[in-house]
């Protein structure tokens, strides 16, 4: 393996880390604020990917332009699910909420397979193969675009949580639910908004993934696991932590793909269990959305 392959691997990992950060950030805020592991997160990513796919296939809408639509769709889906289902049992023991989102995932994937079939599909705009080269390192436009949009959305989320009243209310809910209520925060509303926000980000991630990779109804499970792994690596509850975790994980994934193809998933799972056991609070330690 030469230095060219190494440089290309580094570039690929950095580009991938953007999308992965977006995959994990929605999962992270839901976990951090609501204390729910949303197993259906990957199914939301899949739905976002299909929104982009159908808009492109049926109406020829550019995949990058469909991102806001996919976010709005998933925002509504997430809001309804949280407000009228998960909120009913949110303070029940962990097994209940865990099993509930697990069941949601099964239902969504099963319905998607039923209506859209299990075939692999891909979104192929005219520029999908194009890119530019620096030296001998190739940079496809779609990957670079996905990276830029991921950073933009992550930045917007940070601004929203830090500088808006609603964002502050969400953070307050995550810190101390009783204190937040005393300050006039409507908890049910705040939870539903957080979950909706997490789902919308999953939708955006799905749209970006559909531009670079083939999609099918079962694609989401692997992303739920990745999102969890990234949160564990980076530590729960901070945006920079998630970005660091995504970068670390992207390097693990890209380089285990180069050196040991076929064992990619096994290595990722091993890293997960290892990190959980050695450092359960994550590499970046504990922080909380500031």
Partner 1 sequence: MKKSGELQNSPQAASKKVARQKVLLGLVGAFVVLLAVLPLFASGFWMRTLTLLFLLAAMAEGWNFIGGYTGYAAFGNVAFFGIGAYGTALSMLRLHFPFFLALLVGAAAAMLFAVLVGLPVLRLKGHYFAIATVALATGVGEVADFWTDFTGGAAGLTLPFFHPIQLSNYFFYYIAFVLVLFGLGLTYFIMKRKLGYSWLAIREDEDAAKMMGINTTWSKVVAFALSALMAGLAGGIYAYWNTFVLAEEVFKIEYTLQMILATVLGGPGTVFGPFIGAFIYYILITLLVFFLPVGQLHATILGLIIILVMVFTPQGVMDFLSGRKRLTLSALLENIRTHKV
Residue 216 near residue 121, CB atoms below 8 Å: yes
Q: Which of 72, 130, 179, 188 binds partner 1 (CB under 8 A)?
A: 188
Site residues (CB under 8 A) for partner 1, limited to 158-187: 187
DSSP secondary structure, 74-92, as one string: HHHHHHHHHHHTGGGGTTS
Q: Which is nearer to partner 1, 72 or 99 (CB)?
A: 99
**Single residue of 68, 260, 265, 290 touching partner 1 by CB under 8 A:** 265
Measured from the CB atom, the residue of 228 and 249 that comes closer to partner 1 is 228
User: What residues are paired with 140 via a beta bridge?
Assistant: 131
Task: Give whichever of 76 and 269 is closer to partner 1, judged by the CB atom.
Answer: 269
Per the CB < 8 A criterion, the answer to whether 162 and 61 are in contact is no
Q: Does 114 bind partner 1 (CB under 8 A)?
A: yes
Under the criterion CB under 8 A, does residue 103 sit at the interface with partner 1? yes
| 11-19, 144-152, 204-212, 271-279 -> range binding partner 1 (CB under 8 A) | 271-279
- Is residue 193 at the binding interface for partner 1, with CB under 8 A as the rule? no
Binder of partner 1 out of 6, 65, 89, 136 (CB under 8 A): 89
Does residue 110 bind partner 1 (CB under 8 A)? yes
For position 98 contacting partner 1 by CB under 8 A, the verdict is: yes
The Cα 85–Cα 89 span in angstroms is 8
- Which tokens go with 91? 């303070």
Instruction: Give the nearest distance from C-beta 119 to partner 1 in angstroms.
Output: 14
Kindly state whether residue 225 participates in binding partner 1, applying the rule CB under 8 A.
yes
Q: Which residues bind partner 1 (CB under 8 A)?
A: 31, 37, 85, 87-96, 98-100, 102-107, 109-111, 113-114, 187-188, 191, 225, 228, 232, 262, 265-266, 269-270, 272-273, 276-277, 280
């Amino acid at each position: 393996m030469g230095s060219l392959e190494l440089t290309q691997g580094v570039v690929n990992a950095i580009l991938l880390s953007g999308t992965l950060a977006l995959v994990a950030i929605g999962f992270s805020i839901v976990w951090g604020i609501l204390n729910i592991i949303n197993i259906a997160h990957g199914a939301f990513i899949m739905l976002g990917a299909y929104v982009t796919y159908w808009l492109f296939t049926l109406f020829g809408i550019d995949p990058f332009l469909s991102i806001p639509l996919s976010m709005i769709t998933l925002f509504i889906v997430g809001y309804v699910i949280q407000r009228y289902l998960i909120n009913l049992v949110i303070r029940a023991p962990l097994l209940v909420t865990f099993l509930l989102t697990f069941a949601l995932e099964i239902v969504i994937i099963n319905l998607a397979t039923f209506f859209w079939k299990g075939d692999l599909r891909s979104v192929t705009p005219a520029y999908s193969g194009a890119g530019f080269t620096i030296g001998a390192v190739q940079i496809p436009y779609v990957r670079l675009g996905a990276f830029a949009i991921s950073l933009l959305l992550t930045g917007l989320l940070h601004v929203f949580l830090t500088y808006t009243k609603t964002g502050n209310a969400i953070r307050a809910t995550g810190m101390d639910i009783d204190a937040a209520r005393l300050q006039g925060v409507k908890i049910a509303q705040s939870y539903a908004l957080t979950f909706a926000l997490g789902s919308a980000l999953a939708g955006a991630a799905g749209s970006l993934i559909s531009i670079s990779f083939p999609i099918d109804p079962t694609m989401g499970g692997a992303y739920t696991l990745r999102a969890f792994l990234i949160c564990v690596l980076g530590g729960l509850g901070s945006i920079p932590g998630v970005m660091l975790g995504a970068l670390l994980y992207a390097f693990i994934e890209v380089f285990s793909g180069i050196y040991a193809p076929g064992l990619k998933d096994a290595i990722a799972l091993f890293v997960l269990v290892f990190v959980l056991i050695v450092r359960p609070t994550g590499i970046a330690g504990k922080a909380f959305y500031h």
